[in-house]
Amino acid sequence: MVLPRWKKLLTGSPDGKLLQPYTFNSRRGGGTYNERNVVGIIEGTDPGKKDEFIIISAHFDHVGIRKAVEGDSIYNGADDNAAGTCTLLGLAQTFHENNYQPGRTILFASVSGEEMGLHGSRHLASNMPLPVENAYSNVNFEMTGHSEDLGRGNYFMTGCSFSNLDDVIQEFTEGKSQNLIDTVAMSDRLFYMSDNIAFARIEREEAIVWTDPKFTSLEN
């Protein structure tokens, strides 16, 4: 449904393709899965920075059908992660409609296979359509609609020890109705549970190797 619009909005990978197919085997599902990521690129305009790229990501899969709760076995994924996927699409659309010309290149990555072990982001990190050494940062949207516990207009981020983004956001939100809640205590634990970890490993030159027990324990 969204693909024709993406085609208008963005260029695809350098090979002209928006879909990145991949295959994974799951111990949990007990089978082989043919999946795909969706990628789009807005080329940067600053001659000194355009080779660097920022990954904006969100996973679009959810858990499907599981044990019934009160007779309902369909696990709806509005929170996790239709909301994050909509955020990603909304950003891409806004950038396009306002003819936003970023200094650095932006790689929009809507990835799949997250719930079964971050398979889409792992595949993308190991098969980047742009030179992987030029990856500058990643902003990953996970459950952007999940506000009932925090209160309207409040949000939190994970990976605080991986960047200075929380400091930057605090400056922008001062005196506005949005607040970044200080959740450093839960930040690192949750950081290991979403796609951002695949991209964080690029910086550590570990994109190909997946041996961290914190990570491998997620795939069960």
Query: For Zn ion, which is the closer residue by CB, 40 or 77?
Result: 77
Query: For Zn ion, which is the closer residue by CB, 81 or 105?
Result: 81
Question: What is the sign, positive or negative, of the torsion defined by CA atoms of 212, 197, 112, 28?
Answer: positive
C-alpha closest to that of 130 among 101, 106, 110 = 106
Query: For Zn ion, which is the closer residue by CB, 80 or 166?
Result: 80
- Contact call for residues 111 and 124 (beta carbons, < 8 A): yes
CB of 77 to Zn ion, least distance (A): 8
CB of 103 to Zn ion, least distance (A): 30
CB of 63 to Zn ion, least distance (A): 9
CB of 138 to Zn ion, least distance (A): 15
Query: For Zn ion, which is the closer residue by CB, 44 or 117?
Result: 117
CB of 162 to Zn ion, least distance (A): 18
- Contacts with Zn ion by CB under 5 A lie at 80-81
Query: For Zn ion, which is the closer residue by CB, 20 or 121?
Result: 121
Tell me the residue number closest to Zn ion, measured at CB.
80
